[in-house]
Amino acid sequence: MSKIELIPAIDIIEGRCVRLSQGDYARSKVYDASPVDMAKRYADCGVKRIHVVDLDGAKSSAPKNLKTLEKMALGASVDIEWGGGIKSEESLRALFDYGATYAIVGSIAAQQPQLFGEWLARFGGERMVLGADVRNGKVSVNGWQEDLAISIEELVEGFLPLGLRQVVCTDITRDGMLQGPSFELYTELQSRFGEVDFTVSGGISSMADIERLNELELRKVIIGKAIYENRITLKDIEQWSLNA
């Protein structure tokens, strides 16, 4: 059995690495390393994919850090999944042009499912990733500022016939809190939708969390704040990735 894939996260505001707590821009912490340097470090650790969120883009409904994306794609041999503010096909094409391997679409998928369905058909489930941000079982949109009536299960179900294969599911109540992920949420989703790769996102605090997710046979996990706060080290990531 293959081990769970570790996907380090880089959140960007104005070209710099930051971390938010529960999606609150007022509670952001800026870190010294540049996104390009971080991407290189992760690639050197054997990481295959990194998760990047353009927080400026998420707030303004259009990607804002494309030059940073381009530098990261050119500077590090690692696949980049990029989210934040993808609301039009023009933005989507720009992402791929600037070097993203995967595009994460959240708010549009929930609020304009027909449009996301068209993108799935056009660009394929191997490049399009559904970004489902969840609070108490319901999908949240627009930088977590608005909760919808639709559940995560209903959202995923609607896109299955259109080729959906990848979902990043973030439990907002856990994000940036370093209190552990919602193990139950992800095991239920993965067992219900076996053909979809779910990525665990939010709350990872230690390698013990990773070990447990691995035992539960989950497939992918995003690690963010735990790295920046030195609860999970680059050496931990390297050892895990090399033995995967």
Catalytic residue positions?
11, 133
- Quickly tell me which residue has 């977590």 as its tokens: 144
Spatial distance between the Cα atoms of 114 and 102, rounded to a whole number of angstroms: 20
- Quickly tell me which residue has 């609301």 as its tokens: 87
215-235 CB burial, b ≥16 within 10 A, e <16: eeebbbbbbbbbbbeebbebe
Query: What is residue 163's three-state secondary structure?
Result: coil
Closest CA to 62 of 35, 30, 40, 92: 92
